[in-house]
Amino acid sequence: MKEFLIKFQRYPLTWIVLVACLIALTISALSPYFLTVNNFTNLMKQVSIVAILAAGQSIVIISGGIDLSVGSVLALTAVTIGWLVQNGVSPEIATACGVAVGTFAGFINGIVIAKGKIPPFIATLGMLGIARGVALVITGGVSYQVLTPLFLFIGNGKLLGFPIPIYFVIVAYAATHFMLSRSRFGRHVYAIGGDEHVSRLEGINVDGRKIAIYALSGFFSAVAAVVMVGRLASTPPNVAFGIELQAIAAVIIGGISFAGGRGIVLTSFVGALIMAMITNGLNILGVSSFWQQVLIGIVIIAAVWVDNIKSARRR
């Protein structure tokens, strides 16, 4: 029993879920509109895109890297879908092509990082510009309408009373959690994040794993793009501008170590939820959106502070 308690106490989800509950209780104490089914549904829709991106970002950060290009890759995927649909391609095929393009962009990130030995920050910063630029080139800067049933369903449909994007989130997190905790690939992600040099010496195919990791992040960006197209019913090339920072913030707030090698993906969802709750809650309370940014900034710093305390205690 005592052992179970210690395990429970040390489990990465425990504390961050507690924090999330505390925030939810505080806001609902201040406003009766917060904890309503309607608002909850809204919140889930709002959080879905950042949450999906954060799942991919978690893998990258646990491996000791970072992916700044997720917002741009999302946009590139979205306009690929929009452009194809506009040109009479069926939405299903357009989606498949869009996801392939997004995954390919991530794959290129991986190649540049693993084979070109370019630091992830620089490589993905480059891709941030490239993917957004290509998105603008494809469209000439205009936004396409995507009013096909498939995307209307993804954006506005419900299944068992829950909006569709939630299912995307659930599948994304279940798959990632499973992969990280049960597969060889996942074990290698942690090993590389812990010590890349040792991983290499112990025969892990570090380059191959890195390429897979960034391709996966591209894939998650593409999946987020599908949800985004559903919600907007259009594909503006400037969509999701700056969203990469929210995704990274969600991962960090959740408690995954920025230094790599530690943490579990599920906390990133809670991190995304905390940010969404702060935004949503302060909106309900009528607090200026300027203050929301200040608060989220403070939360990010606080989260890293706590992480530092945790790692100091390990020593």
Chain residues in the site for another protein (CB under 8 A): 182-184, 186-187, 190-191, 193-195, 198-204, 261-262, 314
- Closer CB to another protein, residue 9 or residue 289? 9
- Closer CB to another protein, residue 98 or residue 260? 260
Q: Least distance to another protein from the beta carbon of 127, Å?
A: 28
Q: How far apart are CA 94 and CA 153, in angstroms?
A: 16
Q: Least distance to another protein from the beta carbon of 188, Å?
A: 8
Q: Least distance to another protein from the beta carbon of 15, Å?
A: 18
- Closer CB to another protein, residue 195 or residue 258? 195
Contacts of 183 (CB under 8 A, 6+ apart): none
Cα–Cα distances in angstroms (integers) from residue 92 to residues 18, 74, 85, in the given order: 40, 17, 9
- SS3 label, residue 157: coil
Q: Least distance to another protein from the beta carbon of 216, Å?
A: 17
Q: Least distance to another protein from the beta carbon of 178, Å?
A: 9
Contacts of 102 (CB under 8 A, 6+ apart): 73, 74, 76, 77, 80, 218, 219, 221, 222, 225
Q: How far apart are CA 307 and CA 299, in angstroms?
A: 12
Q: How far apart are CA 151 and CA 157, in angstroms?
A: 9
- Closer CB to another protein, residue 164 or residue 192? 192
Q: How many CB atoms lie within 10 A of CB 289?
A: 9
- Closer CB to another protein, residue 180 or residue 228? 180
